[in-house]
Amino acid sequence: MTLWRERLSKASGNPSAVLNVYRRALGDCEAPTWAERRRLLSLMLDALGTVELRVALWKLVKNDPTAADSLYRGLVARVKTAQQLRALHTALGL
């Protein structure tokens, strides 16, 4: 987990770079279980500070339904203010 945090800190603010950390972890068998993947997906959301960047990541992962579902649930759970909710609706095109 420390290694993932380090990698994600270098990719912070860039959804594509954050996604590459995930792909690398899967490719190197660093997250063989769903629990580990779910934790990494959560850390990825934390590395992206805004609702808009989190939605951009979710859109990049839409072809992987399980990961996309986990990301979507995580990004919705991180919405705490009315302003963030408006940003979510805008980013989703609602």
Q: What is the pLDDT of residue 75?
A: 94
* pTM for the model: 0.91
> In terms of Cα–Cα distance, which of 63, 61, 54 is closest to 84?
54
- Average pLDDT, consecutive stretches of 10 residues, N- to C-terminus, the chain (94 residues): 88 93 93 95 94 96 95 95 95 91
Alpha carbon of 24 to those of 17, 20, 31, 49: distances in Å?
10, 6, 10, 21
- Cβ neighbours for 33, distance < 8 A, ≥ 6 positions apart: none
Q: What is the pLDDT of residue 43?
A: 96
Q: What is the pLDDT of residue 57?
A: 97
Q: What is the pLDDT of residue 94?
A: 86
Give me 29's structure tokens.
Answer: 């068998």
Phi, psi of 14, rounded to the nearest 5 degrees: -130, 100
